[in-house]
Structure 1
Amino acid sequence: MSSAVLKLSKTDIQKLKNYYSDYLLNKNVPYSEFSAKKNGVNITAYTSGKVLFQGNNAEQEAARWGKTDPTTAKKSSTLPKDFASLAVLGSDEVGNGSYFGPLCVCAAYADKEHLADLRQLGVKDSKMLTDSQIRAMAVKIKELIPFKLLVVNPEKYNAIQPQYNAVRMKVALHNQAIRLLLEQISPTKPDAILIDQFTSEANYLKYVKQEAQRVEQKIYFVTKGEQYHLSVAAASIISRASFLEELDKASLELGTKVPSGAGRSSDELAAKLLRQGGIALLNKYAKLHFANTEKAKKLI
């Protein structure tokens, strides 16, 4: 399956939405404006302005709207041959871009024997699944393959964040999840470790050297890692399900729906919490270093 990415203005994204109006999908993709599927190509427009085309004719469909962004297309030439069929430990994270809710990082190990089972479950890029599908699928994945899930709630996140910038924090969590899962599956060793790339390889290695116990062998980095191995897709689904569960808990505690993302609704809820309990209350539910905190203060 090929993919292509465009960076478009809000006006152009609205044109896309109008064009694909007969093909819109009724599913809630995090941080997206809309999702559609036409002629076997999945189209997802994100609030950031990026539009992702996935499918056998993705590049041709994207070409209707402009030139694809070469910086967003990550080649898999660095991966070993037949990588998708190898026994791989993959990791991914969810929640990094959401003001409310935790940062969830998961490592999952999919050996050759379980790849067919994961395919049969329908495991794929979590952005192509609805929240209800993700919740149900995560339960089955957890029963099928080994995994290690780390959940950093906002209160803990805020305590760590002054010493760890966002990238270093994710490096530390990916490294820890991978290390703990390697210990869990020992003496079995994966053919490779694949991290869904969130920073350059050089940057990752720079930060991981600051960890007392680090994993550096057989690690590969690639964007959209879920397209190259089901272990990353499984890790993404488990992370996303955990993130949704934590948002549900927060919503129950606060008596109001807690949104994902970092939009206007997040500002408004943050302002409400500041009125109710000040920064101490907001600290329990939100990542305070986001710009939303200052925006919320202006709404009081």
Structure 2
Amino acid sequence: MGQTVIKVDQDTIFKMKKHYHSSISSKQPPHATFVAKKNGLTITAYTSGKVMFQGDQHEEEASLWGSGVKSNNKKKSSGEPELPKFLSQDHIGSDEAGTGDYFGPITVGAVFATAQQQELLRELGVQDSKNMKDDTIKKIVKDILKTDIVYSTVTLSNEKYNSLKQKNWSQVRMKAWMHHQAIKHVIGKLDGQESKGILVDKFCEPGIFYNKIRASNEQPLEGMTFLTKGESKSTCVAAASMLARYRFVQEMDKLSGMVGFNLQKGASNIVDKQIKRIINSKGEPFLDKIAKVHFANTDKAKKL
């Protein structure tokens, strides 16, 4: 289903609501001013001034309300690669968090959202979590969880992570397995809804990803696409990145409670000092419960 999104002022929103008054639906998503259904077309106006037209003749209907039309049928310039069409349709996106942090687990999020739900997610502030503070992510994710999107998160505890490393699992294999499981969980929850595609934020070549899934005695899913910076190209991936970060922060809070102080994120020299402090107070084996012990930080801390 095609769609067009325009940006208008509040005076135009008022005029539109009056124009479509006989077609206005009693059901509307959060942050919407009105939803109207007219001859196979759905018009959703948001309090921000964005108006989304979905369905038959969406571009023609949107053009009635002035300039500033942004259509998902717009072609890329010749110098840019063409993005998959499903990114503006109902699809699944997945992303991970915690891979470069010494303390804390790896978390993966997967999200299925319809085109209309994606517009709502953007209204809620969904974007690449790497550009946002954790407190902001927490606030937005709490709003996301109130919507009816389908999602799943998978958390790999530090103890399990370290156990898999001892079995020669690479971090790429762990991430591939986690993305695969999270996406499978989402597909299992769709209950007849159709996903037009699956986008994974690219962390390895597709062939390597598929080989890692087969190495874990599972069959790769069909219809997968891998794009770098996927969170900037797909609202579903952006939402998944925020969910993954939210879960990671939750786990970090729990681990901080275990050690009695706030654990530093990342892998800086501040982390090295915290590792030394933990070794002195709880012993080196305790790190297995809260950290990715194969990181170079472990040896650096022991030399302090």
Whether these two folds match at TM > 0.5 is yes
1:282 paired to 2:270: no
1:271 paired to 2:276: yes
Equivalent of residue 132 in structure 1, options 109, 130, 135: 135
Query: Match of 1:262, as an amino acid?
Result: A
1:155 paired to 2:162: no
Query: Match of 2:152, as an amino acid?
Result: K
* 8 A Cα contact 1:106 1:149, kept in partner: yes
Query: Match of 1:293, as an amino acid?
Result: T
* 8 A Cα contact 2:90 2:112, kept in partner: yes
Equivalent of residue 193 in structure 2, options 188, 208, 212: 188
* 8 A Cα contact 1:88 1:229, kept in partner: no
Q: 1:152, 1:143 → 2: CA distance? A: 25
Q: 1:288 to 1:241 in 2, by over 3 A?
A: same
Matches within 5 A, 1:1-300: 77=81, 79-81=83-85, 83-144=86-147, 145-163=149-167, 164-299=169-304
Q: CA RMSD in A?
A: 1.6
Could you list the runs of 5+ residues in structure 2 that have no partner in the other structure?
A: 1-78
* 8 A Cα contact 2:210 2:220, kept in partner: no
TM-score norm. by structure 1 comes to 0.71
Find the residue that maps to 1:161 and give its secondary structure: helix
Q: 1:76 to 1:241 in 2, by over 3 A?
A: farther
* 8 A Cα contact 2:93 2:199, kept in partner: yes
Q: 1:102, 1:264 → 2: CA distance? A: 19
TM-score norm. by structure 2 comes to 0.70
Q: 1:201, 1:79 → 2: CA distance? A: 17
Q: 1:84 to 1:289 in 2, by over 3 A?
A: same
* 8 A Cα contact 1:194 1:219, kept in partner: yes
Give 1:187 shift: 2.3
* 8 A Cα contact 1:76 1:222, kept in partner: no
Q: 2:166, 2:173 → 1: CA distance? A: 11
* 8 A Cα contact 2:111 2:186, kept in partner: yes
